[in-house]
Structure 1
Amino acid sequence: MRAHVELIHENDYIFHAGELPFGEGRILERRLSTDEEDGSSSLSLHATADWGRSAGIAHADTEFYVVEGSLIYGGRELGAGGYIQVPKGVPMDWIKIREGSRILHWREYGDAGFDPLTSVTETDATGDVTVVDATTMEWTEATSVGPLTPLYIKLLHRDPKTGFYTRLIRAKKGWTDHRLAHHPCYEEFYTLGGRMAYNFGDIDEGTYCFRPAGVKHGHFIAETDIDWIIRSDGELTNWYTTSEWVKWGGHPENYDEHNHAHQPVISTLPVRSRSRGEWSGDGM
């Protein structure tokens, strides 16, 4: 299980050497969130020189999304908005990331292990590799519950068996929802551009969240048009809470119960990075 991360800004995190076995070149990574039980990770890659790796088989479901710069996959070059998904155990073609590029990289249900191949035809394993240029896709209006202005989506990949999906979502300036929502699946996002006021803190470009299933969240106001790339490990259903309350308290023996700085907080606080500021606990 990954920790509840809400919110961090990637610039608050340090760089590590990129954990991409059998690659050549120079690439760094920021570890947005990791699962130390199975190796699942969400990473922000920064190529400080050209970096590349030959064909092979990854030990995890593998995804790449180009934020800035370009990536070449099997001879096809993808700029910002380029996306690749390779299922676990399925051969992936050679890949090259250009110097100066920023790439989001996810490994799911496995670690960084990688078995090189001389070519993708060396194995009998089969499966569908998804390669998408999101800039060529149209935004589709998403269904909503309640009298809200719509969100817009570009579906990049969906697993037909599990419902696991990766998609782009856009909220137009002024979009708002003050209900609290929770989901039967996890929800993860990285902010590609724009700004939103939110109960956990302000969301802007580079802001990241990993929210386990069942965690309530809400009070959104889009201050500009805002875009995210969002992932969930199942069908995302919004369960809403209104007129919320939490039974929480006791007799304060030696502190001021009316002073917010003195009040105890629920122990399951999320991981937050310094630039996101303090959080009042609103929305829980």
Structure 2
Amino acid sequence: MAPDLVSICRLDSGGVVERDTVMARPHIEWIQAQALSWQSEILPARDGAEAKILSRDEESGALTCILRYPPGYRRGPEWLSADEEFWVLDGAVEVDGLAYGEHCYAHLPREMPRSGFAAPDGAVVLTFFSAMPVATGGGVGRNFDERRLVRRIDAADDVWDGDFAAMGLESMRSTARMRTLRQDPDSGEITYLTATIPFRLGQRSERHPVVQEFFLLSGELAGDRGTMQAGAYCWRPPMVKHAPYGSWTGTLLLFRSVGGPQTTLWEDPDMPFAWKPPHAPVLPADLAPLMISPWPRPARY
């Protein structure tokens, strides 16, 4: 069956909309999560939680979302039909009795048995599912690939072990740090953190032969499509030219490569970097109205 086609809107600085057509998960570059509404009861495997859907693959059901668990949320023994990868934005969750507080990460492979899931005091969690998650009761008796399990990482332990050179990002070494959260043993797909220093300024544009997905955890980031604030989300198809980027504040970003390991091709930018770039996000038609204007900076005083 051929992939579904979706309409894409590119907004220029004057509010003019250009339409394009692409396949699979739509190109989103970028949307502020704060612009999206909370939705109830749209993920049966997480019934009772609210969700903001950041992007979704209409064929496979794979999706990226923010889940908001109310205080007292609890599930019994079960396993899911999809990988569940998550980063705790606020509050805390428990899986198999193990606590994951703010800035904790895990990758739980599909069919991994779980004795329980809970959010005693509530939580907000950035979550990636490899397919539409279906929960099956009973937390025993499933065979899952333990090589793909990342049980728990706490970013506050201050380990920065990422390999800039392996992804062709050696030029960032002096102005950023990287931490590898996960690398798939078969596909090479990688999830990692990048933290950049204030006033870092990139010089060249990039392309990657795989999907690059990211969520801006903190800071402000200026690039060729406008200025992103904390909460900005991007799903970029392979080989889409982007950057250079700069940040007055410094940034913390969570990146994922989808479809294989991430490598980088460098080339000259189409336009010089600007600290105050034109607002021109790339969005599906249903999301474009939410980002007509630049997103305001959060109040600082």
Looking at structure 1, the residues matched to 231 and 289 of structure 2 have their Cα atoms a distance apart, in angstroms, of 12
8 Å contact kept, 1:18–1:45: no
Looking at structure 1, the residues matched to 172 and 126 of structure 2 have their Cα atoms a distance apart, in angstroms, of 34
User: So what's the TM-score if we normalise by structure 2?
Assistant: 0.76
Aligned position for 1:281: none
Aligned position for 1:249: none
Choose which of 52, 57, 64 in structure 1 pairs with 2:79.
Answer: 57
User: So what's the TM-score if we normalise by structure 1?
Assistant: 0.81
- Identify if the C-alpha distance between structure 1 residues 176 and 15 changes in structure 2 by more than 3 Å, giving closer, same or farther: same
Moved more, 209-218 or 84-93: 84-93
Aligned position for 1:134: 155
Code of the aligned partner of 2:256: R
8 Å contact kept, 2:73–2:122: no
Shift of 1:34: 0.4
Looking at structure 2, the residues matched to 147 and 34 of structure 1 have their Cα atoms a distance apart, in angstroms, of 31
Code of the aligned partner of 2:39: H
Code of the aligned partner of 2:116: W
Looking at structure 2, the residues matched to 22 and 238 of structure 1 have their Cα atoms a distance apart, in angstroms, of 36
Mapping for residues 86-101 of structure 1, pairs under 5 Å: 86-101=108-123
Choose which of 26, 37, 41 in structure 2 pairs with 1:14.
Answer: 37
Mapping for residues 1-284 of structure 1, pairs under 5 Å: 1-21=24-44, 23=46, 26-108=48-130, 110-117=131-138, 119=139, 121-128=140-147, 129-130=149-150, 131-140=152-161, 142-143=164-165, 144-146=169-171, 149-233=174-258, 234-242=260-268, 244=270, 269-271=282-284, 272=288, 274-275=290-291, 277=293
Code of the aligned partner of 1:151: A
- Identify if the C-alpha distance between structure 1 residues 135 and 101 changes in structure 2 by more than 3 Å, giving closer, same or farther: same
- Identify if the C-alpha distance between structure 1 residues 206 and 58 changes in structure 2 by more than 3 Å, giving closer, same or farther: same
Moved more, 98-107 or 205-214: 98-107
Shift of 1:148: 6.9
Looking at structure 2, the residues matched to 207 and 276 of structure 1 have their Cα atoms a distance apart, in angstroms, of 15
8 Å contact kept, 2:109–2:145: no
Shift of 1:126: 4.8
Shift of 1:100: 4.0
Code of the aligned partner of 2:141: E
Shift of 1:22: 5.2
Code of the aligned partner of 1:92: R
8 Å contact kept, 1:180–1:218: yes
- Identify if the C-alpha distance between structure 1 residues 84 and 218 changes in structure 2 by more than 3 Å, giving closer, same or farther: same
Code of the aligned partner of 1:277: S
Aligned position for 2:274: none
- Identify if the C-alpha distance between structure 1 residues 92 and 178 changes in structure 2 by more than 3 Å, giving closer, same or farther: farther
Shift of 1:54: 2.1
Looking at structure 1, the residues matched to 106 and 161 of structure 2 have their Cα atoms a distance apart, in angstroms, of 20
Code of the aligned partner of 1:172: I
- For the residue of structure 2 that corresponds to 1:169, the secondary structure is strand
- For the residue of structure 1 that corresponds to 2:118, the secondary structure is strand
Looking at structure 2, the residues matched to 23 and 53 of structure 1 have their Cα atoms a distance apart, in angstroms, of 9
8 Å contact kept, 1:19–1:112: no
Looking at structure 1, the residues matched to 85 and 269 of structure 2 have their Cα atoms a distance apart, in angstroms, of 39
Looking at structure 1, the residues matched to 40 and 262 of structure 2 have their Cα atoms a distance apart, in angstroms, of 34
Identity of aligned residues (%): 23
Q: How many residues align?
A: 254
- For the residue of structure 2 that corresponds to 1:135, the secondary structure is helix
Code of the aligned partner of 1:116: G
Long gaps (5+) in structure 2: 1-23, 272-277, 295-301
8 Å contact kept, 2:25–2:57: yes
Code of the aligned partner of 1:47: Y
- For the residue of structure 2 that corresponds to 1:91, the secondary structure is coil
8 Å contact kept, 1:46–1:102: yes
Moved more, 39-48 or 121-130: 121-130
Code of the aligned partner of 1:73: V
Task: Give the superposed CA RMSD.
Answer: 2.6
